[in-house]
Amino acid sequence: GGDHTITYPILQALVAKHGPMGLVHVDAHTDTGDTALGEKIYHGSPFRRCVEEGLLDCGRVVQIGIRGSSYDPDPHKYCREQGFRVVPAEECWMKSLEPLMREVRAQMGDKPMYISFDIDGLDPAYAPGTGTPEIAGLTPAQALEIIRGCKGLNIVGCDLVEVAPMYDVSGNTALLGANLLFEMLCVLPGVKTL
pLDDT tens-digit profile of 66-123? 999 887 889 999 999 999 999 999 999 999 999 999 999 999 999 999 999 999 999 9
Task: Report, as an integer, the average pLDDT of 159-187.
Answer: 97
Can you tell me whether residue 89 is helix, strand or coil? helix
- The domain in which residue 171 lies consists of 4-187
Give the 3-state DSSP-derived string for 127-138, with helices as H, strands as E and coil as C: CCCCCCCCCCCE
Task: Report, as an integer, the average pLDDT of 54-67.
Answer: 98
Residue 84 DSSP symbol: -
**pLDDT at position 173:** 98
Model confidence at 10, in pLDDT bands (50, 70, 90)?
very high
In a domain? residue 89: yes
Residues with Cβ within 8 Å of residue 193, at least 6 apart in sequence: 186
Distance CA 120, CA 167 (A): 12
In total, how many domains does the chain have? 1
**pLDDT at position 1:** 62
In a domain? residue 193: no
In a domain? residue 146: yes
Is the four-CA dihedral 100, 102, 106, 109 of positive or negative sign? positive
In a domain? residue 145: yes
Task: Report, as an integer, the average pLDDT of 29-39.
Answer: 94
What CATH number does the domain containing 49 carry?
Answer: 3.40.800.10
Task: Report, as an integer, the average pLDDT of 30-52.
Answer: 95
What percent of the chain stands above pLDDT 90?
94
Distance CA 57, CA 79 (A): 13
Can you tell me whether residue 27 is helix, strand or coil? coil
In a domain? residue 56: yes
Task: Report, as an integer, the average pLDDT of 141-170.
Answer: 97
Residues with Cβ within 8 Å of residue 95, at least 6 apart in sequence: none
In a domain? residue 73: yes
In a domain? residue 194: no
- Computed over every residue of the chain, the mean pLDDT equals 96
Which of 114, 138, 126 minimizes the C-alpha distance to 163? 126
**pLDDT at position 194:** 77
Helices 140-148, 172-186: crossing angle, 10 deg rounding = 20
Residue 117 DSSP symbol: E
Q: Compute φ and ψ for 161, nearest 5 degrees.
A: -125, 170
pLDDT score of 141 more than 90: yes
What percent of the chain stands above pLDDT 70?
99
Which of 18, 20, 100 minimizes the C-alpha distance to 59? 20
pLDDT score of 7 more than 90: yes
In a domain? residue 123: yes
Q: Compute φ and ψ for 55, nearest 5 degrees.
A: -80, -20
